[in-house]
Each structure stands twice: as structure tokens, then as C-alpha cells.
């Protein structure tokens, strides 16, 4: 199977397949004409990588996961450790986004958003410390 068909079959773009090979994540057999050749095993691997990417794992983490996956005697502890670590990172990012979202939602709600120039959003951005203090003391 050529790289285009492998991309189609795995849902991973040809560009990315070459990149994964370049960083040592997988190797592809070559035909006499220099074309890469993929079989069901490789497609399976590409799908594995694609799913791990869709869960937000980094290439470094995926390299570790793939290597554990290939090793039939691996301890599941290792796999779990990587996944739990990534989950913790995701939770941190979620918390960051939530704090941004909350602040921004308050600003957007407070802004009338019409022709007039006065704007709580710009006020917040230019002197949020003062405004926050004012809000706190008003509570």
C-alpha cells in the first residue's frame, strides 16, 4: 500500500506519516522504486498513533506508549502512569481555561457593546487590579 492509501486507511495525513517515520516513531518498508510500503500492521499502528493524538498525548508520550504496546510483557503500571500524568496535565489546562473563561464572561456581560466608547472590557484590561479590589470591597 502506498502512503496515500495508508493515509486514507488510517486517517493520518501522508505528511504526518513521513514525520512520524522521521522522528523514529515507526519505520516503513521501501519498494524498489523508493516508495514506502504499508501493510495492515502499519495501518494499525497509525490508527493507534492517531487515537493517542486525538486524546492530546504528545509525540514523546506516544513514542513511549507505542513501545509499551509493542512489548507484550510490559507492566500496565507504566502505561497507566503515562496516561494518568497526561490526564493531570489536561486537568491543569482545563482549570486555566476555566479561569480565563470566567473572567472573560464577566467582562463581556458587563459591556453593552454598542456605538458608545465606554467599555468595561478595556477598563478591566487596563486596570484590572483596581477594579478587582473595588469588586471585592463591594462584596
E-only strand ranges, 5-125: 29-30, 36-37
Of 53, 66, 69, 123, the residue at the interface with DNA (CB under 7 A) is 53
Under the criterion CB under 7 A, does residue 65 sit at the interface with DNA? no
128 binds, among DNA, a copy of itself, none (CB under 5 to 8 A by kind): a copy of itself
Give the residue carrying C-alpha cell 514525520. 19
Min dist. Cβ of residue 84 to DNA (A) = 18
Give residue 111's region: left, alpha or beta (phi > 0; psi -120 to 50): beta
Of 16, 83, 111, 119, the residue at the interface with DNA (CB under 7 A) is 16
Beta bridge partners of 37: 29
* Dihedral of alpha carbons 30, 52, 70, 60, sign: positive
Min dist. Cβ of residue 68 to a copy of itself (A) = 7
Min dist. Cβ of residue 104 to a copy of itself (A) = 5
How many residues touch DNA under the rule CB under 7 A: the total is 19
- Write out the binding residues for DNA, residues 31-50 only, by CB under 7 A: 32-36
64 binds, among DNA, a copy of itself, none (CB under 5 to 8 A by kind): none
Find, among 85, 44, 43, the residue nearest to 64 by Cα.
Answer: 85
* Residue 59 near residue 52 (C-beta atoms within 8 A): no
Min dist. Cβ of residue 35 to DNA (A) = 4
CA 95 – CA 91 distance, rounded (Å)? 6
Interface positions with DNA (CB under 7 A): 2-5, 13-16, 18-19, 32-36, 53, 58-60
Amino acid at each position: 500500500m502506498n502512503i496515500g492509501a495508508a493515509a486514507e486507511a488510517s486517517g493520518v495525513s501522508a505528511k504526518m506519516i513521513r514525520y512520524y517515520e522521521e522522528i523514529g516513531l515507526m519505520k516503513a518498508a521501501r519498494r524498489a522504486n523508493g516508495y514506502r510500503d504499508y501493510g495492515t500492521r502499519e495501518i494499525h499502528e497509525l490508527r493507534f498513533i492517531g487515537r493517542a493524538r486525538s486524546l492530546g498525548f504528545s509525540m514523546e508520550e506516544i513514542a513511549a506508549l507505542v513501545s509499551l504496546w509493542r512489548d507484550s510483557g510490559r507492566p500496565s503500571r507504566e502505561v497507566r502512569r503515562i496516561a494518568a500524568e497526561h490526564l493531570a496535565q489536561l486537568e491543569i489546562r482545563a482549570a486555566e481555561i476555566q479561569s480565563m473563561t470566567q473572567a472573560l464572561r464577566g467582562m463581556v456581560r458587563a459591556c453593552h457593546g454598542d456605538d458608545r466608547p465606554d467599555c468595561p472590557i478595556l477598563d478591566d484590561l487596563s486596570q484590572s487590579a483596581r477594579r478587582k479590589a473595588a469588586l471585592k470591597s463591594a462584596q
